[in-house]
């Protein structure tokens, strides 16, 4: 493979991987809004059932680190009795998860 072909192969791979990565708004909509709501307040049927915390509340946001939020997205969340209260979100890249956490942080009022 010559240098031109190698460059085209790498460019194609980069384009393909970024073309399939969803933007944060799409990931939030597809994975989070059914419980957390579009605005992050948790004011949805499922959010109320699970007693979802209001992510726009600065006090709530102060209770978790970005690392804890990343872990919650990757591994899910269980309550004190071991019941799953948030399923892990599968299929997201580390960059997409980081973007989701940044989005959650942007909800703080």
Contact call for residues 19 and 71 (beta carbons, < 8 A): no
Please state the pTM of the whole predicted model: 0.77
6-21 residue pLDDT tens: 444 444 444 444 444 5
Beta strands in 8-93 (DSSP E): 77-78, 84-86
CATH of span 22-106 = 1.10.760
Would you say residue 74 has pLDDT above 90? yes
Q: What's the whole-number mean pLDDT along residues 78-88?
A: 93
Q: Which two tokens stand for residue 99?
A: 């973007």
DSSP 106: H
Q: Which two tokens stand for residue 98?
A: 């980081």
Alpha-helical (H) ranges within 21-57 are: 24-31, 33-36, 45-50
14-46 residue pLDDT tens: 444 444 457 999 999 999 999 999 999 999 999
Domain map of the chain by residue range? 22-106
Would you say residue 82 has pLDDT above 70? yes
Contact call for residues 70 and 97 (beta carbons, < 8 A): yes
């Amino acid at each position: 493979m010559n240098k031109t072909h190698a460059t085209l192969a790498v460019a194609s791979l980069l384009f393909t991987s970024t073309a399939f990565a969803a933007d944060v708004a799409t990931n939030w909509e597809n994975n989070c809004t059914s419980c957390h709501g579009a605005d992050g307040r948790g004011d949805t049927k499922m959010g109320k059932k699970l007693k979802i915390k209001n992510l726009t509340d600065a006090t709530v946001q102060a209770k978790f680190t970005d690392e804890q939020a990343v872990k919650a997205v990757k591994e899910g969340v269980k309550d004190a009795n071991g019941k799953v209260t948030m399923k892990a979100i599968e299929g997201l890249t580390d960059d997409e998860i980081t973007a989701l956490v940044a989005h959650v942080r942007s909800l703080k009022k």
